[in-house]
Homo-oligomer: A and B are copies of this chain.
Amino acid sequence: MPLPSSVTVHAPATIANVGCGFDVLGLALTAPYDIVRLRRTDQPGLTIRHLDDYNLPTDPYRNVAGAALLALLREVPEPIGFEVEITKGIRPGSGIGSSAASAAGAVVAANALLGSRFTNHQLVDLAMYGEAVASGVRHADNIAPAIFGGFTLVRAVLPTLDVVPLPPPPLWVAVVHPQFEVKTQEARAVLPAAVPLPLAVRQWANVGGLVAGFLTHDNALISRALEDYIVEPARASLLPGLGDARLRALAAGALGGGISGSGPSIFMLNQDEATAHAAAEAMGSVYQKMGIAFHLHVGPIASEGARVVSAE
């Protein structure tokens, strides 16, 4: 069967950190998603076009998909290139893995055009070059679920990338994206350089509890373990409405949640679809009262990551 010359990929939004799991845990959503279309060319190099209104850079070295594809092309002996068309379904700066989705979608599309010569682990490693363009840090906590789907643990980035893909629990995610900006670099700057050992112990007890709860489908344990003692307290002041949004979501039945990535989006995990909608509405009502525009997203945890939806 000949390889396709052009493919279209849907690359999902993702929740990084997931409460207590700063820099290591991630979940894939079913929506929103970016649409990344790649056409293989015999001319080396990349051309990037955005079919949206976000005015993102199209210089390959400054575009997250471009940086990821340049890294990938360095591993490809053939003198080829790609024409890239990106339609952002995920708003940049929303904190639900917008840059990760474009980078993940691009390398998954390229891999399909190249006969699937890269493993998922290698694709994560390549897509992380896109994250470096977006935030200055080659982190994998959004990229891993954007590629593997489901629920992922990034056990290590250095010296060797070690992503552990795990079967996702049957939960529904509610996300509110209030329309203000939290710069990733500012969100990193407020983090403590060091953590008191007793607090670190409580945090890793929760990480262990959350992983156990996800794998054994113990929703009460998930609810208790979602608490973040370290990162969220440091970042809370950057996110007006966070405390209220959580309280109202919990009152609506959510199991728990917190800041998605470095914000401003807030996520809540829920046992079913109806509760997730109620939690989303409850969070939205907080921002409505504050006069801050917002978007809501509700969906199950996605078992799949970025995937080819058409090829020709």
Chain A residues near B (Cβ < 8 Å): 20-25, 153-156, 162, 164, 166, 191-197, 200-212, 215-216, 218, 221, 224-225, 230
Contact = CB atoms under 8 A, between A and B. Distances in A.
Nearest to A20: B204
A155 B213 CA distance: 11
Contact of A207 (B162, B164, B194, B204): B204
A194 to B, nearest CB: 4
Contacts of A23: 201, 205
A25 B195 contact: no
A205 B166 contact: no
B196 A194 contact: yes
Could you say how many copies of this chain the assembly holds? 2
A259 to B, nearest CB: 16
Contacts of A196: 193-195
Closest 7 CB pairs of A and B: A204-B204, A194-B194, A204-B207, A24-B205, A155-B209, A200-B200, A208-B211
Given A20-B204, A193-B196, A194-B194, 17 more contacts: A22-B204, A24-B204, A24-B208, A153-B209, A156-B202, A164-B209, A164-B218, A166-B216, A194-B196, A194-B197, A195-B195, A200-B230, A205-B207, A208-B208, A208-B210, A212-B215, A215-B215
Nearest to A155: B209
A159 to B, nearest CB: 12
A49 to B, nearest CB: 37
Contacts of A210: 208
- Of the listed residues A153, A204, A206, A211, the one surrounded by the most CB atoms of chain B closer than 10 A to its CB is A204
Given A195-B194, A221-B164, A21 B204 contact: yes
Contacts of A24: 201, 204-205, 208
A153 to B, nearest CB: 5
Contacts of A191: 197
A151 to B, nearest CB: 10
Contacts of A155: 205-206, 208-209, 221, 224-225
A211 B203 CA distance: 14
A262 to B, nearest CB: 14
A192 B197 contact: yes
Given A164-B221, A204-B21, A207-B204, A153 B194 contact: no
B200 A153 contact: no
Contacts of A197: 191-195, 230
Contacts of A209: 153, 155, 162, 164
Nearest to A151: B212
